[in-house]
Each structure stands twice: as C-alpha cells, then as structure tokens.
C-alpha cells in the first residue's frame, strides 16, 4: 500500500543481524583512532613476523622502567588492536605519512651465467636520474608496493639506527627470511619475464636480489648535491637447485660477515 504524504513507516523490530552490524560499526569507530594512537605508546608485545610484517608499534626497551598497572593496560590494548588489524586485514603501516626515510631504495635483479655477462633488471620505478624525474599517474600502485617491500629493510634500517652490528645483522636477515615466499615469487617473475623475451638464453645459474640505495642530500643542501648511490646484496636464488624441506629457498646475504647464508625457515638466528 502506498504511503500518503507525510505518513511515516513504523519502525521495524531490530534483528540480531542489525544489532551485530551496529556493534561492528561502533567497534570500528573505536578501533581506528585507538588502534592508531596506541602505536605511538611503548608496549611490550611481540612484533609480527611473516610476509606482512612491518608493524609500527613502538616497543618498550628491554629493562626500561614500567609503571604498573598502566603498562599492562597499554600492552593489552596494543595486542588487541594489533591482532584485530591482522584478522581483518586493516593493518596500518603508513604512519600518518610522517617520519620519512633519509634514503630511497629500489630492487635490482641480476641474472648470472658462468659463460656470459650478467644481466641486470632494474625496478620499473627507479629513475634514470634521481635528481630530475617525473612520473605520470598510472595504475601500478600494487606493483610498487610489492617491489619496494622486497628491499624495505634497507629503506628504513640503516646500520647507524641500530644499537650494535649484531642487532643490525639479526634484523636484516630476519626481514628477508620472513618474506621468503614473496621474494622467491618476485625473483621467479622478474627472471621468467626476461627469459620469455629472450628464448635463446639458458636458465641462469643464479638470480640475485640487490637493494639499490639512493641517500638523500644532507639537510639544507641542494638536491643536486646527492651522496653517491650504493648497493647491498639481499638474496641469491639458484633456479636449478632443488628446494630443501624446511629451508629458505635461497641464500640470504649477511651484511656484517659479507657472505651468503643458507638458513632454515624458522628458528633463532
């Protein structure tokens, strides 16, 4: 029956689905601001590991004084919202677009053979001249976010930011080991595309991932006075080597001992 002008429908009885949706919306209105703010409060929770690590939670240093029960409440809050963001895929790693790195970093993939010169495949987004470049808008955001995460440690973790060479070494190796699946997929994809375009080439003996680092000019200096770029090896994959159960499918570069290591997927370093 059509409603007459000015006639309002009667309220429908609330259903359990409606109540559940309302609770979810209210929880989200709490989770977004609180979950973002608590990242800035030092907490004692374990950092996530795996392909999507990179949680921005500030950690309470070991041995630092803690005021109870305040600290326990902070720990519980940080843990709750961290797990919720992982469960729902709402992890926020953008840090309000603040605290920019003092360097840029791009992945380079090098294909090597024993009987011919190596081939270097640069990142799509690496500019030919880091001082003068321009990108037109294009739908390649997902590629950018995939590629930069293969070398993200060297974007955000210069050695001088760590208390000791041992800690720098541990976190550098752990970062690569945590992302072994996505890194291997990237090396296969990058080398596979090149080999498809060059069918006369054999399978390379090794495929190496390298971090190409571009330091920013010092504060107050011209953008034209840029420190020289440098490279840091990350991982080396041997396509013809059979995968070993329980082992990382490639060798990981040790930045302190300057050598490649073959490591198990889990366990302490």
Tell me the pLDDT of the chain averaged across its residues: 86
Which domain does 219 fall in, by range? 101-261
- Intra-chain end-to-end CA distance of the chain, in Å: 73
Looking at the fold, whether 250 and 191 belong to one and the same domain comes out as yes
Looking at the fold, whether 213 and 83 belong to one and the same domain comes out as no
Looking at the fold, whether 159 and 51 belong to one and the same domain comes out as no
Residue 68 resides in a domain: yes
Check: pTM over 0.85? Answer yes or no.
Answer: no
Q: Which two tokens stand for residue 262?
A: 């073959």
How far apart (Å, rounded) are the C-alpha atoms in residues 141 and 156?
A: 20
Instruction: Answer with the one of 75, 96, 117 that is the final residue of a domain.
Output: 96
Residue 10 resides in a domain: no
Nearest to 155 by CA among 221, 194, 101: 101
Looking at the fold, whether 194 and 252 belong to one and the same domain comes out as yes
pLDDT reading at 22 higher than 80 = yes
Phi, psi for 133 (deg, rounded to 5): -160, 160
**Radius of gyration over alpha carbons of the chain, in Å?**
24
Looking at the fold, whether 131 and 49 belong to one and the same domain comes out as no
In this prediction, residues 59-86 reach a mean pLDDT of: 86
Looking at the fold, whether 20 and 118 belong to one and the same domain comes out as no
Looking at the fold, whether 62 and 159 belong to one and the same domain comes out as no
Residue 268 resides in a domain: no
pLDDT reading at 155 higher than 90 = no
How far apart (Å, rounded) are the C-alpha atoms in residues 75 and 38?
A: 9
Categorize the per-residue pLDDT at 230 as very low, low, confident or very high, splitting at 50, 70 and 90: very high
Instruction: Name the most confidently modeled range: 1-5, 157-161, 213-217.
Output: 213-217
Residue 155 resides in a domain: yes
CB 173 within 8 A of CB 181: no
Looking at the fold, whether 92 and 106 belong to one and the same domain comes out as no
Look at residue 40 in the predicted model and tell me its pLDDT. 84
Q: Which two tokens stand for residue 9?
A: 């429908």
pLDDT tens-place string over residues 158-196: 788 788 899 899 989 999 999 999 999 999 999 999 999
pLDDT tens-place string over residues 88-137: 877 766 555 555 678 889 999 999 999 999 999 999 999 988 888 888 88
pLDDT tens-place string over residues 237-255: 999 999 899 999 999 999 9
Instruction: Answer with the one of 72, 96, 120 that is the final residue of a domain.
Output: 96
Around Cβ 211, how many Cβ atoms within 10 Å?
20
pLDDT reading at 212 higher than 90 = yes
Instruction: Answer with the one of 79, 96, 113 that is the final residue of a domain.
Output: 96
Looking at the fold, whether 196 and 179 belong to one and the same domain comes out as yes
Measuring CA to CA, how many Å separate 189 from each of 186, 210, 262?
Answer: 5, 15, 22
pLDDT reading at 2 higher than 60 = no
Categorize the per-residue pLDDT at 139 as very low, low, confident or very high, splitting at 50, 70 and 90: confident
Decide: residue 80, CB within 10 A, 0-12 exposed, 13-18 middle, 19+ buried: middle
Looking at the fold, whether 203 and 248 belong to one and the same domain comes out as yes
Look at residue 202 in the predicted model and tell me its pLDDT. 96
Look at residue 250 in the predicted model and tell me its pLDDT. 97
Q: How many domains does the chain have?
A: 2
Looking at the fold, whether 72 and 89 belong to one and the same domain comes out as yes
Give percent of the chain with pLDDT exceeding 70.
88
Looking at the fold, whether 172 and 83 belong to one and the same domain comes out as no
Residue 59 resides in a domain: yes
pLDDT reading at 51 higher than 60 = yes
Residue 196 resides in a domain: yes
């Amino acid at each position: 029956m059509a409603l007459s002008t000015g006639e309002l429908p009667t309220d429908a009885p609330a259903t359990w689905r409606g109540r559940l949706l309302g609770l979810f919306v209210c929880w989200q209105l709490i989770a977004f601001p609180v979950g973002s703010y608590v990242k800035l409060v030092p907490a004692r929770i374990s950092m996530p590991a795996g392909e999507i690590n990179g949680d921005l939670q500030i950690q309470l240093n070991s041995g630092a004084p803690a005021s109870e029960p305040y600290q326990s409440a902070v720990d519980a809050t940080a843990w709750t919202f961290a797990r919720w963001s992982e469960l729902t895929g709402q992890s926020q790693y953008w840090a309000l677009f603040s605290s920019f790195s003092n360097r840029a970093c791009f992945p380079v993939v090098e294909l090597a053979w024993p009987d011919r010169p190596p081939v270097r495949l640069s990142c799509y987004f690496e500019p030919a001249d880091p001082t003068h470049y321009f990108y037109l808008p294009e739908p390649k955001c997902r590629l950018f976010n995939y590629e930069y995460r293969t070398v993200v440690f060297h974007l955000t973790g210069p050695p001088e930011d760590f208390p000791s060479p041992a800690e720098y070494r541990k976190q550098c190796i752990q970062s690569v080991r945590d992302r072994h699946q996505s890194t291997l997929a990237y090396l296969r994809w990058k080398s596979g595309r090149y080999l498809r375009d060059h069918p006369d080439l054999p399978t390379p003996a090794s495929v190496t991932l390298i971090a190409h680092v571009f330091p920013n000019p010092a504060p107050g200096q011209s953008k034209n006075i840029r420190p020289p770029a440098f490279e840091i090896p990350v991982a080396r994959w041997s396509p013809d080597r059979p995968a070993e159960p329980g082992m990382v499918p490639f060798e990981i570069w040790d930045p302190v001992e300057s050598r490649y290591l073959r490591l198990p997927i889990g366990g302490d370093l």
